[in-house]
Structure 1
Amino acid sequence: MRRVRHEVNGGPEVLFVEEAPVPEPGPGELLVRAEAIGVTLPAVRKVRGGDGPGPLGGEVAGTVAAVGEGVTDFSVGDRVTGLCFSHAYAELALIHRTMASRVPDRASAVEAVALVRSGLVALGAHAAGRPRPGESVLVTAAAGAVGTLALQYARASGASRVVAAVGSADKGEFVRSLGADEVVIYGNGEEERGGAWGDPVDVVLDGVGGKLLGPAVRALTPGGRLVAFSSGGGTIDAYELLVRGASAIGFQMAALARNEPGVYAHRIGELWELHRDRALRPRVFAEIPLVEAARAHEVIESRRNLGKVVLIP
């Protein structure tokens, strides 16, 4: 089978295609013949500046080709999606049964990888911020795969005002079409000099991290909540929280799946219900052949994508 990996850290040019043996599913694992593979920012960051070469994980959707020992809740032929923590950029990938969920007949594999992982992050971050109906919500990286779903979910959940923060003005019309009332721009340095992002908000859902955490805290109302779910790291000034009586909360989807499997499963069901009712409409920016994974990474690094970037084996 074909798979993509990288040898040294650097830009997307270090990704290459190789022939590899078909993996054998171990206990509790599914072997999935991939039909769509979601490209995630953590995978892109791993290639750009990780600790060394290694498998590229990500979300995979396709058909179960084989099951490992002890798997009784999935069978060969089932359509599934889930997170692969080994080689996701491959024609066949291993997913542990606890990370897998069924794909409804009405949905395509591309829709599944655009909806489930990103939607779980969006719903989980929203729940961590505890916005009440009538409160205001600001979403950073609002034109990305998670951000597009977080905007829609905030609107569907009764936010009085939804603000989209994006890296360039040309994304404004797109995020407004998803339910944003206002659009603010970051990346021009103004926010780092203390520039305001308009009227304060009750909740900030931040998928960027780094230098944007300071402005995100300063955008909060008294008693506001910042939810940090980015893999980008960063530092929060405790004094900025103190003077606002604000809170900073971290959210990681993998930790939710590991520690609260019942909540994890419930949210997957909620995602598909919202998708069925068209309250959540995942946006796919590009479908790119697996062998051109380097191009997919370049799209995300350049911040051109409006929604999800998907690899097609």
Structure 2
Amino acid sequence: MAKIVVFDEYGGPEVLRLAEIPDPEPGAAQVRIRVRAAGVQPIDCATRRGDLATYRPLPFPIRLGNEVAGVVDRVGEGVTGFAAGDEVIAFLSLQGYAEAVVVPAGQVARKPEKMSWAEAGVLTASGQTACTALDELRVGPADTLLVHAAAGGVGSYAVQLAAVRGARVIGTASERNHDYLRSLGATPVSYGPGLADRVRAAAPQGITCALDAIGGEALDVSLELLGVPDRIVTIADWARSAKLGIRRISSERTVAKLDDLTRLWSEGRLRIEVADSIPLSRAADAHRLVESGHVRGKVALVVD
């Protein structure tokens, strides 16, 4: 039997509960992974609250989790690239909060030996979302990119990946995270009234593109600074972005992108910030932490 996290009604973190299911069996072209760590994303919290129920109705009980790291313990028919005992990272949909998962082999990459389980567990979803956003914006050496919520999960990756592409980065964050953003290669500016003027002061030549990971005022500020929405994207605030004509993106996840992320980590050019590692049985506490709005990087659920 394998423990999983589910919820039977929309609500606060307290609706999350542990359940048990028979160990899933891999089918053709699939592998079974004994999970060691799973990432917790803001979208997991939004799903639990029911924020997305209109857009994505799901039958109860609902599971959560879109990224895991663990050890392959069984492979399905036709799988040749992996074997029992391999340490891997995988992307999946609504099943990562679990002791064991079954994943198509085409969604699995090898974990670098020296990468911790928590780091591996929080890499793929936010890392690949950041990659997708930078691709959509066509970020390159001539750009000055504004990243809103730059100390968060997607923001932290976007800052570093934009720097790898040669761009200059301005990142919004609370003052307690300014030194952290500098360590990642960004010029930090504080949230709040007067944000547009602070960005102009930090980038006198202007910004050329913007990635929003928080919504609300950040979208209006981005549009004020750029004038048109062509090179603005957001991963938040569906309603506001639609009114402003700003593209809302979701991650286009591939093993090739995941391999690029692990390569950059191995080369010392990508830092993975884990705010906390919390046992699977305390998934509600992990959600409370993410919803506090004070997380630097990502939160991991760990399975001992």
TM-score by length of 1: 0.84
C-alpha contact (below 8 Å) 2:148/2:212 kept by paired residues: yes
> How far 1:267 moved relative to its partner?
2.3
Aligned pairs for 1:131-146 (under 5 A) are 131-146=139-154
* CA deviation map 1:14-69 (0-9, x unaligned): 11112222112233322110111111111111001243531113211001111223
Counterpart-to-counterpart distance in 1, 2:225 and 2:281 = 42
> How far 1:129 moved relative to its partner?
0.7
Find the partner of 1:61 among 69, 72, 77. 69
Counterpart-to-counterpart distance in 2, 1:201 and 1:90 = 42
Find the partner of 1:106 among 96, 111, 114. 114
Name the counterpart of 2:250: 252
Counterpart-to-counterpart distance in 2, 1:95 and 1:233 = 29
> What is the RMSD of the two structures over their aligned residues, measured on CA atoms?
2.4
Name the counterpart of 2:203: none
Name the counterpart of 2:28: 27
Partner letter of residue 239 of structure 2? G
* CA distance 1:73–1:276, change in 2 (3 Å): same
Q: Mean alpha-carbon deviation: is it higher for 290-299 or for 99-108?
A: 99-108
Aligned pairs for 1:42-121 (under 5 A) are 42-49=43-50, 50-51=52-53, 53=60, 54-121=62-129
C-alpha contact (below 8 Å) 1:134/1:159 kept by paired residues: yes
Is 2:286 the counterpart of 1:285? no
Partner letter of residue 296 of structure 2? L
C-alpha contact (below 8 Å) 1:25/1:31 kept by paired residues: yes
* CA distance 1:237–1:87, change in 2 (3 Å): closer
Is 2:228 the counterpart of 1:227? no
* CA distance 1:68–1:300, change in 2 (3 Å): same
> How far 1:95 moved relative to its partner?
1.6
Aligned pairs for 1:99-248 (under 5 A) are 99-160=107-168, 162-166=169-173, 168-186=174-192, 190=193, 196-199=197-200, 200-210=206-216, 212-220=218-226, 225-230=231-236, 232-236=237-241, 248=246
C-alpha contact (below 8 Å) 2:108/2:255 kept by paired residues: no
1:71 partner SS: coil
Counterpart-to-counterpart distance in 1, 2:217 and 2:15 = 27
Q: Identity of paired residues, percent?
A: 34
Counterpart-to-counterpart distance in 1, 2:118 and 2:149 = 21
Partner letter of residue 233 of structure 1? W
Name the counterpart of 1:37: 38
Counterpart-to-counterpart distance in 2, 1:60 and 1:218 = 38
Query: Structure 1: where are the runs of 5+ without partners?
Result: 242-247, 258-263
Q: Mean alpha-carbon deviation: is it higher for 19-28 or for 60-69?
A: 19-28
Partner letter of residue 127 of structure 1? D
Counterpart-to-counterpart distance in 2, 1:223 and 1:147 = 19
TM-score by length of 2: 0.86
1:311 partner SS: strand
Name the counterpart of 1:260: none
* CA deviation map 1:123-171 (0-9, x unaligned): 22112111231321111121111111111122232223x11123x3333
C-alpha contact (below 8 Å) 1:56/1:86 kept by paired residues: yes
Q: Mean alpha-carbon deviation: is it higher for 298-307 or for 65-74?
A: 65-74
C-alpha contact (below 8 Å) 1:210/1:233 kept by paired residues: no
C-alpha contact (below 8 Å) 1:33/1:91 kept by paired residues: yes
C-alpha contact (below 8 Å) 1:197/1:219 kept by paired residues: no
Query: Structure 2: where are the runs of 5+ without partners?
Result: 201-205
Aligned residues: 290
Name the counterpart of 1:267: 257
> How far 1:223 moved relative to its partner?
8.5
2:11 partner SS: coil
Counterpart-to-counterpart distance in 1, 2:241 and 2:21 = 44
